[in-house]
Amino acid sequence: MKFLLEYWYLILTAAVSGGLLLWPMASRSGGAHRVNAAEAVRLINREKAVLIDVSEPAEYAAGHAKQARNIPFSSLEGNKALPTNKAVPLVVMCPTGARANRAVATLRKLGYEQTNALIGGLAAWREAQLPVEKSAA
């Protein structure tokens, strides 16, 4: 007991350090669901998931996954291009995957529960040798 009273700051430091180490695992469960390219293809083929690219129009025109709907991140809320059936699975992508994670959080707030961010974005899609196309400018 004397040790606890004399070295309370060491115990507090150990507890805070442990909490900081566990924080990423705890926050992941409520955060963005992430899938790799193979899992995204499985969702699209088997579960009829909709592929949404949240890139800006110029980025989308420069190259995007074939059959991806372009809905820029800034215009997600209230966008008519989003599926009306909120039970449909969504796979969200962008060039790197960073915006896609934020878009998943926004879409979940809008009621889309089966929403997944593509890990690595368009770069990972290309690396998996999946179809990419360019739009006419």
Range of the domain at 18: 1-30
Q: Provide mean pLDDT across the span 96-121.
A: 94
Number of domains comprising the chain: 2
Same-domain check for residues 70 and 127? yes
Residue 56: give its domain's CATH number.
3.40.250.10
pLDDT in tens, 20-45: 777 665 554 444 589 999 999 999 99
Return the number of other C-beta atoms located less than 10 Å from residue 78's C-beta.
7
Question: Tokens 């998996």 correspond to what residue?
Answer: 128
For residue 99, the one-letter residue type is R
Distance CA 75, CA 85 (A): 19
Are residue 58 and residue 20 in the same domain, yes or no?
no
Q: In what order do the strands lie in the sheet with 33-35?
A: 33-35, 115-118, 90-93, 50-53, 69-70
Domain identity same for 40 and 80:
yes
Does residue 78 share a domain with residue 60? yes
98 vs 52, residue with greater confidence: 52
What is the separation, in whole angstroms, between the first and last Cα of the chain? Answer: 73
| 118 and 102 both lie in a single domain | yes
| pTM as predicted | 0.75
Task: Say whether both 72 and 20 belong to one domain.
Answer: no
Is pLDDT above 70 for 103?
yes
